[in-house]
Amino acid sequence: MIGDRLKILREQNGYSITELAALANVSKSYLSYIERNLNKNPSIHFLMKVAKPLDISIEYLLTGIDQIEDQTEINGERILDKEWEILIEKAIKDGIDKDDFKEYINYIKFKIWEKNKR
């Protein structure tokens, strides 16, 4: 739902309802109303206003899918093979976020460096 996505994005960006409302120039109470899914059909004008400070597309707010994020190919070349897509989807479902991935990558790089150092 739009409200759920909006709340998650606001929190991921570290904004309080008051801060996002001020940045988007919308009513704090209306923003809260949308986040609680009391109004499930906000106007496009409202979505445009809140999307900007969150640096997301209106399409993402409406569907949860960003056109660029949904692509598996660029210029006919596959970005990720199916196995990678499945692994990433499973990790996300298991609660692993981008920071966890970055930390894991750094750990693996360190282990490789440590192994090569010997």
Q: What is the pLDDT of residues 31-89, one digit of tens each?
A: 999 999 998 889 889 999 999 999 888 888 888 876 544 455 555 566 666 677 777 87
Contacts of 117 (CB under 8 A, 6+ apart): none
Query: Computed from CA positions of residues 29, 62, 10, 89, in that sequence, does the dihedral angle turn out positive or negative?
Result: positive
Instruction: Record the tokens describing residue 38, joined without a space.
Output: 């009391």
Of 5, 69, 7, 14, give the one whose Cα is nearest residue 32: 7
Where does 36-97 have alpha helices with state H? 44-54, 58-63, 82-93
pTM: 0.56
**What does the alpha-carbon distance between residue 89 and residue 86 come to, in Å, rounded to a whole number?**
5
